[in-house]
Amino acid sequence: MRQYFMDGFYQQGEKNPDHAFEPSGSLLRALLIAGASTMTGYAARNAEKLALYDVNQGYGRVYLSRSLPLKGVSDSIWRLWVRDHKRVPQLSFYSDGQSPFIDRFSATGTGPIIVAMSYNDYPGVPGGKTELVNDLDLKVIHHSSGTMYWGNEREGGDRRNNDDKIVLSNPSTDGF
């Protein structure tokens, strides 16, 4: 995965040294999560029906051709857009509830939109109430309706994970 970016395959899916950069570990983890395919059936360890984000499958099965599109290999509807904040010298976080990163995007109507966020967090206090030191939450807001979609389908934010994923299966084309 790292070599994909180091050789400049991002954004067109073919090698271009002018587009090369060194990705962060958080970006690579977010890509694995974004491209993961939901599994079906039942868990072998407890016979529970598999569900996205549960303890039996997490984000699903790794599916590299969805994580890293390659020209002539991946389905042509898969497009990739990344933002790697490791290049930002110092990130400033604001008071609780404010958003330091805002991006706008629109759907084309040809398939789902998958948004993933991952970050490295400092170790928490052993035996502490919360596991996260920095609790960042991913949310997508539909432009015209105001509908909010929360990472890992946890309304109000996921307080336990430093990886979040949102899947918009049939997004409208009027913007997010």
Q: What is the pLDDT of residue 61?
A: 92
Q: What is the pLDDT of residue 28?
A: 96
Residue ranges of the chain with per-residue pLDDT less than 50: 89
CA–CA separation, 118 vs 27, rounded Å? 7
Q: What is the pLDDT of residue 14?
A: 92
CA–CA separation, 144 vs 37, rounded Å? 29
N residues, the chain: 176
Q: What is the pLDDT of residue 59?
A: 92
